[in-house]
Amino acid sequence: MNRIVIVTTAYFDGERHHDDGPFSIEIVGGIITAVHRGDAVAEMRVPFVLPGLVEAHCHLFLNGEELDAQKRKAYLGASLDEMLAVGRRSLGQNLAAGITLIRDAGDMHGINTRLKSELATPTGVLPELRSPGRALRKAGRYGSFMAVEVTDADSIVSTIRQLAPTADDLKVLLTGIIDFEKGCMKGGLQFSLEETRLIVRTARELGLRTYAHCSGIEGLRVAVDSGIDSIEHGFFMTREILCAMADKGIAWVPTFSPVQFQHDHPELAGWNAETVAGLRRILDNHCEHIALAAELGVPIVAGSDAGSYGVPHGRGLIDELLFQHRAGMTVEKVLASATSVPRRLWGCVPADVRAGHRANLIALAGSPFAELENLRQVRWTLRGTDLLPLNAAQAESWTSH
């Protein structure tokens, strides 16, 4: 497929919505050569086109659809072959949702690194994968399923140097997790401000961007003061922190989905009415600060934490985008958070729908500006010269590759 012309009723270029079509998109040798208003003889006619989506935070080796806690625990002792099969299925689920770039958030077994190696010589339409390999945590603290332990400054530096050759980014676990019953963080900081600054400095010397698992005011302040590139989760956010993030260009990946699932399905964890009310307060605070972050100019990046309990790969990202919109973000900002913003922040090849860019497009059956749920109606994905028509079966078929 050397030359193709796509006619679309409307499109999102990565930053702006264009709805006064039809528009013709000409692609030659995988490169967009022209985008102009007007009809044309076309190989494909679709209602809506936008750049391939980005999932900024997931764990490919975990199955978010498994809701049996004992089975999830037992799975962490599974064979590498079994985990690789889960990871390949996760990639397929992402692809079926129109996701063409994924940033994994760490696993102790190296499944993400193995998958990245498999994708290094792709055949056909496959997603691109960024991986940290293993994340970084303090000895004895939260994160045993995804992070290697460090104890002091020397081990921090030596471990980062060991991770760097196969890592695209460095993930650090700066805090613990939320105690849902008490509505606060479990435990204190994993790393001091001095240690976190050392982590950031060492990573940058090795050409790695940093992203921090972090919630709670104490951890958020350390993340901002140390110059972490991206804050993941960021629950219990404040205006003060957001202003500092905006000033420093620190990104925020809010990951509504795991907490929203706990709120929506309390029977699975046995939460009582008081805990559910506390979860609602946490989510309402998150919504309030997402809207404020967008207003202040904080770079917001969409990541669902797929693989977490109740968060399926692929569908979880679309849920996340819907949460962002309900929190008050415009549709343009929501779509940018899953297309142009992460690619720009990570130094990736742009996928904007503009002349001169390599084709990295998805087509939808309807406009997300009419109804954001239309993001679930992916017709096809095009990367370069490779076209993949999509349907529900595509997610399963990838596992045979």
Single out the residue of 62, 60, 164 nearest to residue 115, CA to CA.
60
Helix, coil or strand: residue 168: coil
The Cα 343–Cα 80 span in angstroms is 30
Q: What Rg, from alpha-carbon coordinates, does the chain have? A: 21
- Integer CA distances (angstroms), 385 to 4, 76, 116, 119, 129, in order: 9, 39, 21, 17, 19
Q: How confident is residue 390, by pLDDT bands cut at 50, 70 and 90?
A: confident
**pLDDT of res. 121:** 78
**By percentage, how much of the chain surpasses pLDDT 70?**
97
Task: From 262, 304, 226, select the one nearest 60 (Cα to Cα).
Answer: 304
| Topology classification of domain 54-346 | TIM Barrel (3.20.20)
| Contact yes or no for 112/130 (Cβ under 8 A) | no
pLDDT at 125: 82
Q: Which two tokens stand for residue 292?
A: 């404020």
CA dihedral 220, 223, 228, 232 (to 10 degrees): -30
Closest C-alpha among 95, 89, 104 to residue 305: 104
pLDDT at 397 over 70: no
Report the pLDDT value the prediction gives residue 263, as an integer from 0 to 100: 97
Find, among 326, 325, 343, the residue nearest to 334 by Cα: 325
Spatial contact of 19 and 10, defined as CB atoms under 8 Å apart: yes
Q: How confident is the model at residue 143 (pLDDT cuts 50, 70, 90)?
A: very high
Using pLDDT thresholds of 50, 70 and 90, give the confidence band for residue 399: very low
Bond from prior residue into 22 cis (ω within 30 degrees of 0): yes
Specify the pTM.
0.95
- Rounded to an integer, the average pLDDT of 200-224 is 99
Interval 293-308: pLDDT, tens: 999 999 999 999 999 9
Instruction: Tell me the two tokens of residue 153.
Output: 């400054």
**pLDDT, tens digit, 9 for 90 and up, residues 318-343:** 999 999 999 999 999 999 999 999 99
> What pLDDT, on a 0 to 100 scale, did the predictor assign at position 276?
97
Residue 283, classed as helix, strand or coil, is helix
Query: Given this model, what pLDDT does residue 41 score?
Result: 84
Q: Taking all residues of the chain, what is their mean pLDDT, rounded to a whole number?
A: 95
Query: By the 8 A CB rule, do 8 and 382 touch?
Result: no
Tell me what the mean pLDDT of segment 117-142 comes to: 91
DSSP codes of every residue in 138-157: ETTSS-TTTEEEE-SHHHHH
Domain extents in the chain:
3-51+351-400, 54-346
Q: Give the DSSP letter of residue 40.
A: -
Tokens of 381: 């994905």
- 79 burial via Cβ count (<10 Å: 0-12, 13-18, 19+): exposed
SS3 of residue 367 by DSSP: coil
* CA 32 to each of CA 26, 361, 382: distance values in angstroms, whole numbers, following the listed order: 6, 10, 11
- Residue 401's pLDDT band, with cuts at 50, 70 and 90, is very low
Q: What's the pLDDT score for residue 122?
A: 65
The CATH homologous superfamily to which domain 3-51+351-400 belongs is Urease, subunit C, domain 1 (2.30.40.10)
Q: What is the mean pLDDT of residues 130-135?
A: 98
- In whole angstroms, what is the distance from residue 249 CA to residue 377 CA? 33
| pLDDT average, residue stretch 40-60 | 95
